[in-house]
Amino acid sequence: MIFIIFGPPGVGKGTQAAKISQKYNFLHVSTGDILRASVKEGTELGKLAKSYMDKGELVPDNVIIGIIRERISDKDSKKGFLFDGFPRTIEQAEALDNMLSKEGQKIDSVISIELSDEEIVKRISGRRVCEKCGSMYHIIYDPPTNMGYCNKCGGGLYQRDDDSEDVIRTRLEVYRRQTEPIKKFYKRGGILKRIDGLGTIDDVFSRIEKVLKGIG
């Protein structure tokens, strides 16, 4: 099974993708997480990516497509792939289709989580991430038990550099201009499912599960 969790930054794609992959044993492929790991390691890829990420702009397609090609060929025992934060441009979407069709595979469903810009800004500005294990919290909607520390591993929580309000506005603008048009591409293929992103993490998760069950 191959799924894409689609939607604007801050809509909860990462949180939902982590829950789904754990429950259904999918390989969670988040290009944002891969890039952040490279930035942390200080690799050439990380240095290049950081210059775009800090401004809220997209990392060039050829770099992202290269990363995905490597992941897809990396055969794994999981039952499927769940892409999160990829594709973000029509070029990436077309490249993914080509890579999959060479392996005789195709995307089963694109789940688009929909939310207004106003709600997104509220969510992103309260978002905190664990520096050790990457778990995500929200200071109002999903606070950790001990403020500033991860419930799972005790690591310190921090705010991503690109979660500041001015960078969020750029990321939203980039999303509406470069990424949202992909929905038309998948709608034509009949695989686009839209769900409401308002409500708790569990509300959204159960909407996603309904879509998954409809397919599986």
By CB under 6 A, name the binding residues for ligand AMP: 9, 31-32, 35, 52-53, 56-59, 64, 85-86, 88, 92, 162, 171
Q: Give the whole-angstrom CA distance, residue 178 versus residue 182.
A: 8
Residue type for position 75: K
Q: Which CB atom, from 52 or from 205, has the smaller least distance to ligand AMP? A: 52
Q: Which CB atom, from 88 or from 207, has the smaller least distance to ligand AMP? A: 88
Q: Which of 19, 88, 193, 207 is catalytic?
A: 88
Q: How distant is the alpha carbon of residue 12 from its chain centre?
A: 8
Residues pairing with 2 in the sheet? 81
Q: Which of 36, 50, 123, 127 is catalytic?
A: 127
Decide if 176 is catalytic.
no
Q: Give the whole-angstrom CA distance, residue 198 versus residue 114.
A: 8
Which residue of the chain is nearest ligand AMP when measured via CB? 32
Decide if 171 is catalytic.
yes
Decide if 13 is catalytic.
yes
Cis upstream peptide for 144 (omega within 30°):
no
- CB 69, min distance to ligand AMP, A: 13
Mode of pairing for the β-strands spanning 127-130 and 157-158: antiparallel
Q: Give the whole-angstrom CA distance, residue 38 versus residue 49.
A: 8
Asked if 86 and 32 count as a contact pair (C-beta separation under 8 A), the reply is no
Tokens 């390691």, residue? 41
- CB 213, min distance to ligand AMP, A: 26
Residue type for position 190: G
| 3-class DSSP state of 60 | coil
Residue type for position 71: R
Q: Which CB atom, from 32 or from 144, has the smaller least distance to ligand AMP? A: 32
Q: Which of 36, 128, 171, 207 is catalytic?
A: 171
- CB 57, min distance to ligand AMP, A: 6
What distances in angstroms separate CA 192 from CA 179, 184, 211, one per listed residue?
A: 14, 9, 10
Decide if 71 is catalytic.
no
Q: Which CB atom, from 172 or from 208, has the smaller least distance to ligand AMP? A: 172
Q: Which of 13, 36, 128, 207 is catalytic?
A: 13
- CB 65, min distance to ligand AMP, A: 9
Decide if 160 is catalytic.
yes
- CB 148, min distance to ligand AMP, A: 21
**Which residues are catalytic, by number?**
13, 88, 127, 160, 171
